[in-house]
Every structure is written in structure tokens, then in C-alpha cells.
Structure 1
């Protein structure tokens, strides 16, 4: 589970050698708009983020660098949290947007997760980032509901759409934590 190959990609753990690539990905303001963090300011912050990733994995989460096979240099990242949401998240360098790379990486991670005891994954996207929702749809996730959250640390009000993919076959199973936590929640018609 430390290494996954697809047709075009290698998904692997980040190493100290990847600090410059990680900085390039996470300091880009355009990439960062929909991430729950501010852009990295310098290489020192990228080194600190590598420690965050190591801790994330120690806590039983999955966190991979997305690399092209041709050079094995990180161009993005993909992760699944260890908490009860099993939240799937991903980001990719701007130069690689709209090439199906996130979809390919997500499908590979889902195939790997089906070999574990994780019963489902969830993922959320800002309504202002519909392309992320298209990735969720493309990998078979199903829209369940929307909710408003005062999103931290950026302190902005965001409407999120929550998607879910159940692995054990119970299509009626819905992760309701966000629905229950946030008073403004609703179901939209998603095209």
C-alpha cells in the first residue's frame, strides 16, 4: 500500500527529496484556493508539511505523492483520512489540470482501499469548484447533501457538496456527521 502504479502514474510516499516539488505544488495560490490551508511561504514550511504528512500516515491515514511515471517527481497529492469520514482529498499542480490525472489517481486509491476494511469514503468540494465534483462523479461517488461551513483556517463561509462511495454495497448508507454538525444543510439537484 506504499506504492501504486497506474497507466501514467506512480503514487508513493513523499520523501525529504520531494520538499521542493511539494513546495511548488502547495505554494501556488491557484492550486491552494480550495485547500484547507494557506499557500506555503517557503521551503521551511514545506519541510514542516512533510512532517505533517508523516504524522498523517502514522495515524493510519493514506497520503501519496502523485508522480508521472516518466520522472517520478510529485505533481500533486492524494490522501484518505483515518477518521470516521475516510475523507478523500487531492490536489494537482496547475500545469496538469484537465488531463484526468486526479481521476486516474483516485481510481487507483479506491482499488487499493477495496482491499482494506474501510467500508466507504467521503469527499467534499466547494460549490465554486465544480471540477472537483466532476472527479468525484467520474470515480463513482454519489452526491448525498450540501452544507454551509465557516471554513478554517481561511475563515470564509463555504457551501460544500458531500459525496460518498460505499464499498460494502449498502447504497443507502450516508455519512451524516456534516449534516448533523452544520445547521444549514440541504439536498440539491446535481446535474
Structure 2
């Protein structure tokens, strides 16, 4: 299956980013509040946005794995966020949305649609992590069927401060007992919380 095929939901178009999306991408990635819980610093210029878009999105469409979507409203098909599935071993699931669209269920709607696609691809599982201070992100994970597995403390880079992350997982192949253990094994401070 082609990576990142277009998906339509009741309110949204999920599609590949294009070079024409630089201005919209910059609006997402330059907002300090949106990027509070993302690993990188907010982008500072359209030039930075063009490089980031090319390296993290446009170039990825040439690969056979991974899914990297622009979240767009059907009304104008302009990106207001993203939802991604990394092609690495963790199959990390991530998302962000411009803050004026928060609290409307758009990320949950987009994420559920991507998970529905993933179930048809043979991908065995996805994982996702959220900062313990970002419970709204954890709520999205729960909404799409992910379950909490464990927590760990990481010296987050490039921001360089300690963060306690909760790791969620959704096994797409029916092997419910599988737990992705890389973060547990990598970080000496790890534990299971009562959630």
C-alpha cells in the first residue's frame, strides 16, 4: 500500500503535505503553545519551515513505510495540524493541531481515521508517548483505543530538561500481550503508574 494515501472523514481531509503548504506549516510549527510538548523548539522563519517540511515530510513520501498526514478542514483543504506514524521500530504515533482548533475533537477524528487505515496495512502495533503534564494528548490516545503500558523519565532533547513520559500502545494484530520495551530498557527511571 502506498504510504500516506488520502483519507476523508466527516470534517477533514488527511493528505500529504506539499511544497505549497509552507505558510500553513509555519503557522503550526512556529506557535510556542502548540509546540510546548513537542520535542523541537518553535520554528522561527519561513526558511526554517521549508527545510523542516522537506526533511520531515516531503522526503518521507519517497519511502515505502511511515505515514505523515496534513490535517485539513474540508472547507479549505489548508493544513491546520498533522498526524504521523513513524517508520522506526516504535511505530511512534504523533499529532499536533493549531490551538484555535483545540477542543473540537479534530485530532481524535483524524487519528481514528489513520488507525483504521493502519489496521489494513499489516502494521503490528503503534506506540505513542505524552508528557505527564499534557493529559489532553493522553486522552486522544485513549480515544483511539491505545492503552497505557508504563512511564519513564527522559532528559528531553534538544530542549534539555527531564520529562516524565507515559507510553501507550495499540496492538493492531491481536497480540494484546505485546509491550514495546525500548524506553523501559533505555531509561533507568521507569515505573508503572495507577491511571
Q: Does 1:10 align with 2:19?
A: no
**Cα shift at 1:54:** 1.9
Secondary structure of the residue aligned to 1:147 is strand
Match of 2:96 in 1: 91
CA distance in 1, matches of 2:184, 2:172: 21
Match of 1:107 in 2: 112
Match of 2:172 in 1: 167
RMSD over equivalenced CA pairs, Å:
0.9
Secondary structure of the residue aligned to 2:128 is strand
- Once the two structures are overlaid, the 10-residue window that deviates more, 49-58 or 151-160, is 49-58
Match of 2:146 in 1: 141
Segments of 4+ moved more than 6 angstroms? none
Match of 1:44 in 2: 47
Query: 2:59 is matched with which residue: 55, 71, 84?
Result: 55
Gaps of 5+ in 1: none
- 1:62-90 superposed Cα distances (whole Å, 9 cap, x missing partner): 10100000110000011000011000000
Secondary structure of the residue aligned to 2:151 is strand
TM-score by length of 2: 0.95
TM-score by length of 1: 0.97
CA distance in 2, matches of 1:55, 1:179: 31
Query: 1:26 is matched with which residue: 20, 29, 39?
Result: 29
CA distance in 2, matches of 1:64, 1:152: 24
CA distance in 1, matches of 2:5, 2:73: 16
